[in-house]
Amino acid sequence: MFLENNKHKGWIEVICGSMFSGKTEELIRRMKRAQFANLKVEIFKPSIDVRYSEEDVVSHEGHAIHSTPVESAQNILLMCSDVDVVGIDEAQFFDAGIVDVCRQLANSGVRVIVAGLDMDYMGVPFGPMPALMATAEYVTKVHAICVRCGDLAHHSHRLTADDKQVLLGAKDTYQPICRHCFNELMSKK
């Protein structure tokens, strides 16, 4: 197994919330702090996420950090030798294997920081995120501001009629809304 000589205890941190809540900003902040502390870091994202960059993890605010795009969660294990911290963005787009990958990394002494949407545009728990949150030692839920009423938002309202669960987009495709506004919009469908 990799990292057999690592004497540090590993753990899993999950950063979750809606679109435009600052998940990627927080992931980038934590990863840059680890780099500043001279820790060896690796950052990964699903290869389907090419919205702002094919390689970098980029926030909606334009902050970026170099990452490695991967086709599947298992590829992460192949690229994590002798690392202290692993960052994973857009975890909801990975298959359920991402949970075991994160566990293996943490069990081998790696600090794992995962960011992703906790719910899809219909308000349903998204992909492996519930299992990641249950497995994590630390869960941070960040909130956007509802564009309709100004309350805390934790739903990602889709502005298009497309009903695919996975639809990459930004402000042209999604807007953050609160529970009340979400329920109001859903009752009109």
Residue 90 designated active-site:
yes
CA distance 10 to 8: 6
From residue 91, how far is each of 4, 26, 49 by CA, in Å? Answer: 26, 14, 11
Among candidate residues 133, 134, 129, 114, the one with its CA nearest the CA of residue 30: 114
For residue 62, which phi and psi values (nearest 5 degrees)? 95, 0
User: Strand 41-46 and strand 85-88: pairing?
Assistant: parallel
The torsion angles phi and psi of 3, rounded to 5 degrees, stand at 60, 30
Query: Shortest CA distance to 154 belongs to which of 171, 164, 136, 141?
Result: 141
Q: Which of 25, 71, 90, 137 is catalytic?
A: 90
Question: Catalytic residue numbers?
Answer: 90
